[in-house]
Every structure is written in structure tokens, then in C-alpha cells.
Amino acid sequence: MKPVKVGLLGLGTVGGGTATVLSRNAEEIARRAGRGIVIDFAAALDTSHAAQLGLSGVRLSNNAMDVVEDPDIEIVVELIGGYNLAKDLVLQAINNGKHVVTANKALIALHGNEIFAAAQKQGVIVAFEAAVAGGIPVIKAVREGLAANRIEWLAGIINGTSNFILTEMRDKGRSFADVLAEAQVLGYAEANPTFDVEGIDAAHKLTILSSIAFGVPLQFNETYVEGISKITPEDVSYAADLGYRIKLLGIARRTEQGIEQRVHPTLIPRKQLIASVDGVMNCVMVQGDAVGSTLYYGRGAGAEPTGSAVVADIIDVVRAMTSDPNNRVPHLAFQASTLADTPILPITEVETAFYLRMRAVDKPGVLADVTRILGDRSISIEAFLQKEPAKAGSEVDIIMLTQRVRQGNMDEAIAAIEQLDSICGAVTRLRVETLN
């Protein structure tokens, strides 16, 4: 059988990794796929390093649209990133009847509904395993491996940069700003780290996971996002004293009222396997009604780990391209016509346990005031810790773990606590999940 001709858009980190993997493992890949897979045409603003990537003899262009419009190309691999140009290229490729593989989480999270509708109309596949958790085949696990289950919830460490920062903060007692600066030097964090540390990148990925878990359209704008930039070394240390670790989690959960879709720093029990996932590694837990708890772990970024997922998608497309378009794995796991309009819950309606930290004047009655405010709103305290500040003075840190409560209630309670004369400054509030 003739090799499949792939067009590659982008020769940056992931584009380079994809080219390297396809060329180094060409023989093994052909033994699996039953035919060769070759990059026939590649486009990038700078193509001067193409030969280093094993792309000697491959047609090159500085205009990605040349690849998309090329009649010989059967699969377009979009590794440019960003929304606008990437979207135009992907839609045009679909329009030209080509299958698409992409690692672009922002594109899928924001424009996936439109892209998948166009692909279905044309009978082509848009594959996006690399968009979530890099090399971990978690899209495949949720869409296919757990297809027998009613998924109850999933929770993931899906941003390596944030996890690296939180790990360093815990291991070395360092501050967020200090570790971030080092991560930028090491290349683990971008010059503009907002997407990573403020949870936006994780929210893109979580939006995709939530859709394929629950069979709802992609709704990035409904995803609650809170980053790690306000986490202090004290919070990390107090959490440890209470038996918890702080991780930036993406959480999607099905409740009777609707779907929770949220990214925020979360205290999780140290004994949970996922609590030991450190550094830049990613990990996703998926809870199904039949299978129970499952977990997937690996590298969530990097040239070859992401290339691994891109190439696996290409192989899947090669296998499915001769099949009946109506009998393929649906883009969002459920047949497009059966996607549900289950509402995404506003964060104020979400119920979780909470970690509260407040600084109080060390005088009688403060604790009574705080517990009364919580008790009035039926918020029970699960654990309590009072710490002297590092330097001598008249203020103490009070730390509490509460039982589960609707966030709206908690917000009211915190506002009331902050009104107390004996409480200094704002109350720090983090969510707690047992993941059981």
C-alpha cells in the first residue's frame, strides 16, 4: 500500500518532535499501521532547520495555506498554535476534504464545536489527543477505553508548569515568584506565564475532558478558572501539617444540578496517588460507575511526548480513513446529535470542602466569633490549626478545614468574617477534595 502523505504546519517544539518521531520510528510505525506515513509537505515561518528534523527532500513553504491547498496531502497536522490562523487553516483543510490532527487545546476548547460540525459535514476526522495531557493517551481512554461507563467525575494535574512550581514551593519552602523566575530560566515557563499559572491552559484542557466525559458541547466560557499565583509558602506548609498537598486541579463532575467545570488550586489528601505526581508530570483521574477509579500518568508537554500523541492520532486516522464516517468514534465521544444541554454550574453553586486561613488578633473571643459566623450558615469545621507567626507579635494564623458547603454560603461567611475587627486583612480560601 502507498504511504500516506501528511502535511505538517509548524516546525516549532511539537512540530519538530512529531517530525523526529515519525522519521526515527518509521519502520515500527509502518509495522503497526500497515503502511508508511510520510511528511510530504511542511510549512513554517522559518524552515531553515528542516533537514535537522529529518525533513530533507520534503517540500517546504513559508505559507501554511500552500499545504492545506495541496491536493496530494491527505492529513493536515496543525501544530502552529493560537486561535485565528490555526482556525482558518483547519477549517480550510476540512473544507478541502482533508483529515486534521491538532495539538491545539485553545483552538479545540474555543472553536471545537464549529470545527467538529464542519468535519462531520465533510466526513473527515479531526483528532486532538495531543491537546490534553501531552503524551498520555487520556482522550482515548475516556472516549473509547471507558465507553461503557457513566463517567462520574474526573480530576487532573494538566499543567506541568504550575505543578513544577507547586512542587518546588513544597519541597524547598520557596515563594511562588521565586520559583516562577527559575522556571522561566529553565524553560518550563513562558516569558508571559499567565496562561500556565493562572489556570487558563488547564481550563482549555479541562473543557475538552468535560465534554468527552459527559457528552456536552465544549463550553470554555463556563469553566471557572483560578490560578496558583496567590498560593503562599505558608498555605503549602499548613496544608502539609493537615495531611494535604496543594495541586492545581482541573475538575469536572456530574451532579444532579448540572456539571461542575472548574480549575483551581486544591488541597488533596497526601495518600492519594495523584498527590505524589510531582514536577512537570501530568496525571488524570477518571471515575466511572462501572470501572471505579482509574488514573493516567505521564509527560504533559515537550517535543517528543506531544509528538507521540500527534503521531498516534495520525495512525488512528490512517486506520479510520477508509471506514464509514458514520461509524467512527465521535469527536466528542458521543454522537453529535445526542450531545446534551446539561447546564454547567456557576461556581457559587458548587459544593466543596474548604481550607480557610485568616490572621487574627490574639485575644479571647475571636474564634468564637468566627465559628458563630460559620455555624449560622451551617458550615461545620472538620479540622483546626492555630499557628504563631514566625516573628513575635500579637497576631496568629488560624487555619480551618470545613465540611462540604455550597460556595455561595462560604462567600457570605467569609465576607462576614472579614468584617470582624479582630481579623486582619482578607481570608484565604482554597478548596479541598478527597477524590474518593
**Interface contacts to a second copy, rule CB under 8 A:** 17, 21-22, 24-25, 28-29, 31-34, 129, 135-137, 140-141, 144-150, 215, 273, 276-277, 288-299, 304-305, 307-312, 315-316, 318-320, 322-324, 326-330, 333-335, 338
Instruction: Report helix, strand or coil for 374.
Output: helix
For residue 300, say whether it is annotated as part of any ligand binding site: no
Q: How far is the CB of 375 from a second copy (least distance, A)?
A: 38
Report the chain's terminal Cα–Cα distance, integer Å: 49
272 DSSP 8-state letter: S
Q: How far is the CB of 19 from a second copy (least distance, A)?
A: 12
136 DSSP 8-state letter: S
The smaller minimum CB distance to a second copy, of residues 137 and 265, is found at 137
The smaller minimum CB distance to a second copy, of residues 58 and 295, is found at 295
Determine how β-strand 292-299 pairs with β-strand 281-288. Answer: antiparallel
Q: Which of 205, 247, 363, 387 is catalytic?
A: 205
356 DSSP 8-state letter: E
Stated as kind and residue range, the H or E segment containing 14 is: helix 13-24
Q: How far is the CB of 273 from a second copy (least distance, A)?
A: 6
The Cα 38–Cα 35 span in angstroms is: 10
Cell 459566623 sits at which residue? 373
Q: Of 278, 104, 302, whose CA–CA distance to 188 is shortest? A: 302
Cell 489556570 sits at which residue? 199
The Cα 50–Cα 353 span in angstroms is: 52
DSSP one-letter string for 55-72 = -TTSEEES-HHHHHT-TT
For residue 190, say whether it is annotated as part of any ligand binding site: yes
For residue 105, say whether it is annotated as part of any ligand binding site: yes
The smaller minimum CB distance to a second copy, of residues 54 and 408, is found at 54
Q: How far is the CB of 382 from a second copy (least distance, A)?
A: 24
For residue 14, say whether it is annotated as part of any ligand binding site: yes
Residues 6+ apart with CB under 8 A from 201: 105, 158, 159, 161, 195
C-alpha distances out from residue 74 to 67, 327, 402, 411, Å: 10, 20, 56, 53
For residue 307, say whether it is annotated as part of any ligand binding site: no
The smaller minimum CB distance to a second copy, of residues 226 and 304, is found at 304
Q: How far is the CB of 148 from a second copy (least distance, A)?
A: 3
Query: Is 205 assigned a catalytic role?
Result: yes
The smaller minimum CB distance to a second copy, of residues 130 and 379, is found at 130
Q: How far is the CB of 73 from a second copy (least distance, A)?
A: 19
The smaller minimum CB distance to a second copy, of residues 323 and 434, is found at 323
For residue 112, say whether it is annotated as part of any ligand binding site: no
Q: How far is the CB of 314 from a second copy (least distance, A)?
A: 8
The smaller minimum CB distance to a second copy, of residues 96 and 149, is found at 149
For residue 13, say whether it is annotated as part of any ligand binding site: yes
For residue 16, say whether it is annotated as part of any ligand binding site: yes
The Cα 139–Cα 129 span in angstroms is: 6
For residue 266, say whether it is annotated as part of any ligand binding site: no
DSSP one-letter string for 350-396 = -EEEEEEEEEEESSTTHHHHHHHHHHHTT--EEEEEEE--SS-SSEE
Q: At what angle do helices 160-172 and 233-241 cross, to 10 degrees?
A: 70
Instruction: Report helix, strand or coil for 214.
Output: helix
C-alpha distances out from residue 338 to 118, 198, 332, 334, 342, Å: 17, 33, 10, 7, 12
The Cα 340–Cα 357 span in angstroms is: 39
**Residues in the annotated binding site for NADPH:** 105
Q: Which residues are annotated as a binding site?
A: 9-16, 105, 190
Q: Annotated active-site positions, please?
A: 205
Q: Which residues are annotated as a binding site for L-homoserine?
A: 190
| Residues tagged in the binding site annotation for NADP(+) | 9-16
